[in-house]
Structure 1
Amino acid sequence: MANSYTLLANLRAGRYSNTAEVRLLRFWEARNINKGGELMSIEMLLIDEADTMVQGCVPAVHQRKFRERLTEGSVYTLSRFDVTRSNPKFKLTDGPDSIRFNEGTDFKKLAATARTIPTEHFRFRQHGQILELANTSRQLP
């Protein structure tokens, strides 16, 4: 019997015990330049089989637990995480929500998957839309 997974598009704010199967597209460190480059979080882009992309965040306090397990392009099962509203000042995806890792989050790398999860995701915009976004401090075009 195949495992059932939660699709990222179905997530709503709250704590989840369900499991999502996702690919880690990219990750990077977010640092506070006003505090000498202090690590605030590890940010990431996650995508599922339905081509839904969500921003993920590992707060600095939990980064030691997850940092060494992060590999761009790899597929993971993700469970026991929080879903929060996306920060409108730093919004990298079209969705309203983001995933936040917590002390109980389970994040396991899969050697193989039966699902077809994209390896990239692009947001196409009309030139006029990009001009509207420029200098608004709301979204990175």
Structure 2
Amino acid sequence: MEKEWQDVLDRFSYGIYLVTVSSPEGYNGMIASWVTQCSHEPPRIALAIRKNRLCHEQIRESGNFCINVLPREAADRIAQFKIADWKKKFDNCKCSPSPSGLPVLDDSIGYLDCSLDHTIGTGDHTLFIGTVKAGGLVKADNVVPLSTADYQGVYRGSR
């Protein structure tokens, strides 16, 4: 990608979310920013994940994912979801199961429990389209969601 284009894309603002999944080996979670609502009826979410991520295959296999909306004060805690040993990502983390059994952080603003409907290859990422099956607010009183404006660095797709 030409540098001039990337400089503009670096200034887009996105939320920073925790995507959680479950596999026979346990829970996994990853930080994602390319998340958006894409339909009201039925309620659907679009989520883009790089094809080399473990969560990518786990979503394909399980057919479910959960979006946790993180509060701004979680900015310094998201590093725990970037560690190499995915089976330890939820150590020292308080969470409760969503209706489909996926982790919802107890200090998240809210969550959306989704079942996978469609996948679309988009280059080095896959766009997962999921229908919202359940969701709710966990703590909503005057809580500001975490966004790329609160996050150190930019994502240029190379890592």
Return the TM-score normalized by structure 1. Answer: 0.28
Using the size of structure 2 for normalisation, the TM-score is: 0.26
